[in-house]
Structure 1
Amino acid sequence: MPGLDRELVEHKLPVKEGYLLVKQGRRRMYMETELKVKEEIERLVKAGFIRPTIYADWLANIVPVLKRKIGAVRICVDYRNMNEASPKDEYPMPMTDMLADGDAHNQILSFMDGNAGYN
């Protein structure tokens, strides 16, 4: 995040020892879908939500999910190779229903979506 000192906080992805980095081949898509994907990427870059990188060690494909009713596209990323290379989390997140039950005594419970409901 801009403004945070890297000595204070820095995000790193652990990789299992001996695992080779993967650069996936380009996924083909229809030209009209590719144009919608480019528009969505430009929107996310302009909003400061993502940023370009030049020398990526990992390369994962974009998987476009079309919202046919409104003609928009939702951008997902194929992280299967990265998930295989990452060690399993020893402390998984608690179940959603347990979290909701824990908040039952509160007056307000909000489920906020970050950006377009999937980030």
Structure 2
Amino acid sequence: DKGFIRPSFLTMGSSSPICQKKDGSFRVSIDYRELNKLTVKNRYSPPRIDDLFDQLQGSSVYSKIDLRSGYHQLRVREEDVPTTAFRTRHGHYEF
């Protein structure tokens, strides 16, 4: 409905079992383990939380960001979209 997923013309893709959540609703769980094996790992180490708090010392203005659905917030480069392909019993799709 939100346009995140589109039909894919690839015949291969990750499996996507449907899992039932504790509240009774369902979610698609895409198995990207094989793709992750081919992914170039980040060479960036995230900062330590203690260091971040030290940097905020003395600040008077703060903001926050909600990353609850952060995985839907980053655009995938068009040339990388085929790597997101997954298959269901209804067809093949990609992000």
Q: TM-score, normalised by structure 2?
A: 0.50
Q: TM-score, normalised by structure 1?
A: 0.42
The structure with higher relative contact order (CA 8 Å, sep 6+) is 2
